[in-house]
Protein backbone atom coordinates (compact mmCIF):
# COMPACT_ATOMS: atom_id res chain seq x y z
CA UNK A 1 0.00 0.00 0.00
CA UNK A 2 1.58 3.20 -1.18
CA UNK A 3 0.70 6.82 -1.68
CA UNK A 4 0.05 8.11 -5.18
CA UNK A 5 -0.14 11.76 -6.19
CA UNK A 6 -2.49 12.33 -9.11
CA UNK A 7 -1.84 15.01 -11.67
CA UNK A 8 -4.84 16.96 -12.97
CA UNK A 9 -4.62 15.35 -16.40
CA UNK A 10 -5.37 11.94 -14.94
CA UNK A 11 -8.54 13.07 -13.17
CA UNK A 12 -9.65 15.03 -16.21
CA UNK A 13 -9.04 12.01 -18.46
CA UNK A 14 -10.92 9.60 -16.18
CA UNK A 15 -13.97 11.88 -16.19
CA UNK A 16 -13.96 12.67 -19.94
CA UNK A 17 -14.64 9.68 -22.18
CA UNK A 18 -13.48 11.68 -25.21
CA UNK A 19 -10.05 12.41 -23.71
CA UNK A 20 -7.19 10.64 -25.53
CA UNK A 21 -5.89 9.37 -22.15
CA UNK A 22 -9.28 8.15 -20.85
CA UNK A 23 -8.80 4.38 -21.01
CA UNK A 24 -5.18 4.47 -19.81
CA UNK A 25 -6.04 6.80 -16.92
CA UNK A 26 -8.90 4.57 -15.80
CA UNK A 27 -6.63 1.51 -15.93
CA UNK A 28 -3.86 3.25 -13.96
CA UNK A 29 -6.27 4.38 -11.25
CA UNK A 30 -7.98 0.98 -11.06
CA UNK A 31 -4.62 -0.82 -10.85
CA UNK A 32 -3.54 1.47 -8.02
CA UNK A 33 -6.85 0.88 -6.21
CA UNK A 34 -6.43 -2.88 -6.60
CA UNK A 35 -3.00 -2.55 -4.98
CA UNK A 36 -4.55 -0.74 -2.03
CA UNK A 37 -2.75 2.53 -2.78
CA UNK A 38 -4.00 5.82 -1.36
CA UNK A 39 -4.51 8.91 -3.50
CA UNK A 40 -3.69 12.58 -3.07
CA UNK A 41 -4.63 15.39 -5.44
CA UNK A 42 -2.68 18.61 -4.81
CA UNK A 43 -4.93 21.65 -4.37
CA UNK A 44 -3.33 23.21 -7.46
CA UNK A 45 -4.27 20.15 -9.55
CA UNK A 46 -7.75 20.14 -8.03
CA UNK A 47 -8.20 23.71 -9.25
CA UNK A 48 -7.04 22.66 -12.73
CA UNK A 49 -9.59 19.83 -12.72
CA UNK A 50 -12.40 22.27 -11.95
CA UNK A 51 -11.77 24.84 -14.69
CA UNK A 52 -13.85 23.21 -17.43
CA UNK A 53 -16.54 21.89 -15.05
CA UNK A 54 -16.87 25.41 -13.60
CA UNK A 55 -17.81 26.63 -17.07
CA UNK A 56 -20.47 23.94 -17.25
CA UNK A 57 -22.21 24.56 -13.93
CA UNK A 58 -22.49 23.21 -10.41
CA UNK A 59 -23.48 19.70 -11.49
CA UNK A 60 -20.24 19.31 -13.45
CA UNK A 61 -18.22 20.53 -10.46
CA UNK A 62 -20.12 18.10 -8.22
CA UNK A 63 -19.17 15.24 -10.56
CA UNK A 64 -15.47 15.92 -9.93
CA UNK A 65 -16.01 16.01 -6.17
CA UNK A 66 -18.09 12.82 -6.27
CA UNK A 67 -15.33 11.05 -8.17
CA UNK A 68 -12.68 12.19 -5.67
CA UNK A 69 -14.87 11.16 -2.73
CA UNK A 70 -15.54 7.74 -4.23
CA UNK A 71 -11.89 7.07 -5.07
CA UNK A 72 -11.17 8.28 -2.27
CA UNK A 73 -8.58 10.98 -2.89
CA UNK A 74 -7.77 13.72 -0.44
CA UNK A 75 -7.02 17.21 -1.68
CA UNK A 76 -3.66 18.28 -0.26
CA UNK A 77 -3.23 21.98 0.52
CA UNK A 78 -0.25 23.89 -0.79
CA UNK A 79 1.93 24.34 2.28
CA UNK A 80 5.03 26.44 2.74
CA UNK A 81 7.18 23.30 2.41
CA UNK A 82 5.48 22.35 -0.85
CA UNK A 83 5.93 25.90 -2.15
CA UNK A 84 9.62 25.85 -1.27
CA UNK A 85 10.23 22.53 -3.04
CA UNK A 86 8.20 23.68 -6.08
CA UNK A 87 10.29 26.85 -6.34
CA UNK A 88 13.48 24.80 -6.15
CA UNK A 89 12.24 22.47 -8.89
CA UNK A 90 11.29 25.41 -11.11
CA UNK A 91 14.68 27.02 -10.52
CA UNK A 92 16.44 23.79 -11.46
CA UNK A 93 14.35 22.97 -14.54
CA UNK A 94 13.30 26.40 -15.82
CA UNK A 95 10.71 26.35 -18.61
CA UNK A 96 10.96 22.55 -18.80
CA UNK A 97 8.72 22.33 -15.74
CA UNK A 98 5.70 24.60 -15.43
CA UNK A 99 4.76 25.83 -11.95
CA UNK A 100 1.52 23.77 -11.77
CA UNK A 101 3.57 20.65 -12.52
CA UNK A 102 6.26 21.67 -10.03
CA UNK A 103 3.56 21.94 -7.36
CA UNK A 104 2.40 18.39 -8.13
CA UNK A 105 5.94 17.05 -7.93
CA UNK A 106 6.66 19.05 -4.78
CA UNK A 107 3.55 17.62 -3.15
CA UNK A 108 4.84 14.12 -3.91
CA UNK A 109 8.29 14.94 -2.53
CA UNK A 110 7.02 16.51 0.70
CA UNK A 111 4.48 13.74 1.28
CA UNK A 112 7.07 11.04 0.47
CA UNK A 113 4.69 9.58 -2.12
CA UNK A 114 5.60 6.40 -3.93
CA UNK A 115 4.82 7.87 -7.32
CA UNK A 116 2.97 10.41 -9.40
CA UNK A 117 0.53 9.41 -12.11
CA UNK A 118 0.32 11.93 -14.95
CA UNK A 119 -0.67 12.14 -18.59
CA UNK A 120 2.15 14.58 -19.34
CA UNK A 121 5.15 12.91 -20.98
CA UNK A 122 7.06 16.20 -21.25
CA UNK A 123 8.31 16.38 -17.67
CA UNK A 124 12.05 16.24 -17.10
CA UNK A 125 13.50 13.62 -14.74
CA UNK A 126 12.05 14.19 -11.26
CA UNK A 127 13.15 13.21 -7.74
CA UNK A 128 10.12 10.94 -7.40
CA UNK A 129 8.88 8.11 -9.63
CA UNK A 130 6.61 9.40 -12.39
CA UNK A 131 4.23 7.08 -14.23
CA UNK A 132 3.04 8.55 -17.53
CA UNK A 133 -0.22 7.08 -18.79
CA UNK A 134 -1.89 7.37 -22.18
CA UNK A 135 -0.69 8.84 -25.44
CA UNK A 136 1.63 11.77 -26.04
CA UNK A 137 1.16 14.52 -23.46
Q: For residue range 28-52, what is the model confidence (pLDDT) as tens digits? A: 999 999 999 999 999 999 999 999 9
Q: Give every CB contact of residue 68 below 8 A, 6+ residues apart in sequence.
A: 11, 41, 46, 75
Q: How far apart are CA 14 and CA 23, in angstroms?
A: 7
**Is CATH 3.30.1360.70 what the domain over 3-132 is classified as, yes or no?**
no
Q: Which pLDDT score, from 0 to 100, does residue 111 have?
A: 98
Q: How far apart are CA 15 and CA 22, in angstroms?
A: 8
pLDDT, tens digit, for every residue of 50-66? 999 999 999 999 999 99
Q: Give how far Cα 37 sits from Cα of 12, 32, 40, 75, 112, Å.
A: 20, 5, 10, 15, 13
**Per-residue confidence band for 128, with pLDDT thresholds at 50, 70 and 90:** very high
Query: In the predicted model, is pLDDT for residue 81 greater than 80?
Result: yes
Whole-model pTM: value is: 0.94
Amino acid sequence: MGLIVLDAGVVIAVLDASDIHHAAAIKAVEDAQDSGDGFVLPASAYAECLVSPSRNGPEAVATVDQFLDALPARVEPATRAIGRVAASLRAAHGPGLRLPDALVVASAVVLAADRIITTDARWPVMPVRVEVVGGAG
